């Protein structure tokens, strides 16, 4: 058939071509293409259509519509039986003119690959649980922790309880962060996996992730998918931190001197924990009435809250396909998203997170695929909340030094 289809609104044969697949390797029969145009015409005014010479997929040039968001949602549902997605973009059809038109390109929908079992999720969670328990045991039996409780305070404690407390705290922060993404995916009908936990060292885990098998339908859903996990993780991390700080022992100057002497005998340096702004604000409120000069030893649960702050802040930088990158992509669009990503990488670098900046540069700074409908604007309240949400980075990002276990009370 020819590359251009003249606009028409007459009825076409609806009995033929209903099951013809559309893909980049096959010829599309005229009657099936007309059928697809009729489906698009039910929601939008199709001005003309043509076949993309590069991938042999149909493109429909449509008239601009102020209700494009709801119409594209309905069109997506109508195309499900044809295993197609209606990708909506604004493009310059004739190079050099500067005129941009709204087009709908019908592309094959990603295959549904729902897991027949959750074996891998279970295996990875079991492995992560093991490494997190090991990390919790390491913190609970560390020489400073034992010395404070046994030698300074003269009390016994159960290291297994401390180990479990740390493990529950860190897994709650990371797990609920990912379930925030998962439930939002379900809300927006985005096919997503359950969380895959990643075992690691020192903290016990490198986090978790979910796999989104289908793209978000529009910018609103892309915004929600990006912001939901960090907000949930932020709330849980604050709760964990408050509980952990309540558990943290307070050392007087003389008790700190005892601990310092002991650590020197075993060649363990005394370091301070670099604390972000919100951490300091919470601690200031919780220590009202405690004399100046006292020092807190960070309980492992409070350290889990600190780790939650670190993970949330780094993940919310407006870079590539990080959570913060999804939010910035929904707000500024594809044209400016890459520029914003490079600015985010530069900020990571000057804040001292060089290794993270290098990873982000090579893995996340590429082009963001965007939502299916990349034309309909983000809702007004999201435009307001989006920039404000980046305060999480300012409030939660620790100043980069070597973290350990102590910080003084001002």
Four-point Cα dihedral 298, 172, 200, 246, nearest 10? 0
**pLDDT value, residue 360:** 87
Distance CA 297, CA 212 (A): 41
**C-alpha 366: how far from its chain's center?**
16
Residues 106, 84 contacting (CB under 8 angstroms): yes
Q: What is the DSSP string of 202-270?
A: SSSEEEEE--B-S--SBHHHHHHHHHHHHHHHHHHHHHHHHHHHHHS-EE-HHHHHHHHHHHHHTT---
For residues 378-402, give the mean pLDDT.
Answer: 89
pLDDT tens sequence across 141-192? 998 889 999 888 888 889 999 999 999 999 999 999 999 999 999 999 999 9
**pLDDT value, residue 116:** 63
**pLDDT > 70? residue 9:** no
**pLDDT > 60? residue 324:** yes
**pLDDT value, residue 23:** 52
For residues 40-56, give the mean pLDDT.
Answer: 87
98: left (phi over 0), alpha (psi -120 to 50) or beta: left
**pLDDT > 50? residue 264:** yes
Distance CA 47, CA 212 (A): 34
Closest CA to 315 of 241, 382, 231: 231
**pLDDT > 90? residue 12:** no
Q: Which of 39-53, 56-70, 287-301, 307-321 has the highest mean pLDDT?
A: 307-321
**pLDDT > 70? residue 19:** no
Cα 186 to Cα 25, 59, 234: the distances in Å are 32, 29, 21
**pLDDT > 90? residue 305:** yes
pLDDT tens sequence across 50-80? 888 888 889 999 998 889 999 999 999 999 8
Q: Work out the mean pLDDT of the chain and round it to a whole number.
A: 86
Least confident of 123-127, 333-337, 385-389: 333-337
Question: Exposure of 332 by Cβ count < 10 A (0-12 exposed, 13-18 middle, 19+ buried)?
Answer: middle
**pLDDT > 80? residue 381:** yes
Inter-helix orientation angle 323-350/354-363, to 10°: 130
Confidence of residue 331 (pLDDT cuts 50, 70, 90): very high
**pLDDT value, residue 136:** 95
**pLDDT > 70? residue 218:** yes
**pLDDT value, residue 276:** 92
Confidence of residue 27 (pLDDT cuts 50, 70, 90): low
Distance CA 350, CA 371 (A): 31
**pLDDT > 80? residue 17:** no
**pLDDT value, residue 227:** 97
For residues 263-283, give the mean pLDDT.
Answer: 86
Question: Which is higher by pLDDT, 403 or 247?
Answer: 247
**pLDDT > 90? residue 272:** no
- Percent pLDDT > 90 in the chain is 51
**pLDDT > 50? residue 18:** no
**pLDDT value, residue 29:** 65
Q: Vertex 322, ends 245 and 168: CA angle to 5°?
A: 30
Question: Which is higher by pLDDT, 267 or 2?
Answer: 267
Least confident of 28-42, 151-165, 374-388: 28-42
**pLDDT value, residue 354:** 87
**pLDDT > 60? residue 346:** yes
Distance CA 105, CA 58 (A): 6
* Residue 365 DSSP label: S
Q: Which of 59-63, 197-201, 223-227, 338-342 has the highest mean pLDDT?
A: 223-227
């Amino acid at each position: 058939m020819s590359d251009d289809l003249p606009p028409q609104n007459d009825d076409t044969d609806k009995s033929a071509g209903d099951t013809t697949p559309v893909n980049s390797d096959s010829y599309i029969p005229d009657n099936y293409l007309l059928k697809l145009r009729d489906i698009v015409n039910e929601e939008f005014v199709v001005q003309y259509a043509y076949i993309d010479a590069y991938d042999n997929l149909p493109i429909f040039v449509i008239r601009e519509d102020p209700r494009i968001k709801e119409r594209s949602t309905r069109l997506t549902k109508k195309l499900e039986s044809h295993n197609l997605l209606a990708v909506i973009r604004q493009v310059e059809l004739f190079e050099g003119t500067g005129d941009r038109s709204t087009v709908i390109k019908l592309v094959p929908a990603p295959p549904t690959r729902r897991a027949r079992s959750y074996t891998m999720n279970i295996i990875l969670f079991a492995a992560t649980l093991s490494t997190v328990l090991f990390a919790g045991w390491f913190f609970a039996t560390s020489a400073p922790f034992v010395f404070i409780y046994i030698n300074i305070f003269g009390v016994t404690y159960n290291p297994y309880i401390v180990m479990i407390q740390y493990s529950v705290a860190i897994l709650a922060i990371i797990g609920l962060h990912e379930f925030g993404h998962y439930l939002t995916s379900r809300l927006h009908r985005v096919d997503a996996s359950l969380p895959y936990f990643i075992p690691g060292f020192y903290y016990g885990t490198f986090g978790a992730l979910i796999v989104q098998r289908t793209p978000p339908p529009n910018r609103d859903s892309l915004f929600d998918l990006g912001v939901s996990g960090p907000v949930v993780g932020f709330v849980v991390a604050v709760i964990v931190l408050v509980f952990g700080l309540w558990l943290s022992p307070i050392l007087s100057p003389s008790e700190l001197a005892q601990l310092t002497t002991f650590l020197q005998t075993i060649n363990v340096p005394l370091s301070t924990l670099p604390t972000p702004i919100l951490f300091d604000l919470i601690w200031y409120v919780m220590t009202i009435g405690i004399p100046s000069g006292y020092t807190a030893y960070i309980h492992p649960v409070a350290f889990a809250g600190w780790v939650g702050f670190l993970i949330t802040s780094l993940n919310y930088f407006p870079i590539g396909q990080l959570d913060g990158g999804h939010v910035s992509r929904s707000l500024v669009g594809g044209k400016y998203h890459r520029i914003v990503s490079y600015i985010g990488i530069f900020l990571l670098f000057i804040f001292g997170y060089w290794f993270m900046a290098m990873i982000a540069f090579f893995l996340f700074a590429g082009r963001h695929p965007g939502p299916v409908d990349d034309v309909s604007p983000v809702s007004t309240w999201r435009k307001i909340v989006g920039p404000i949400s980046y305060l999480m980075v300012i409030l939660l990002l620790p100043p980069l030094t070597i973290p350990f276990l102590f910080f003084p009370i001002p």
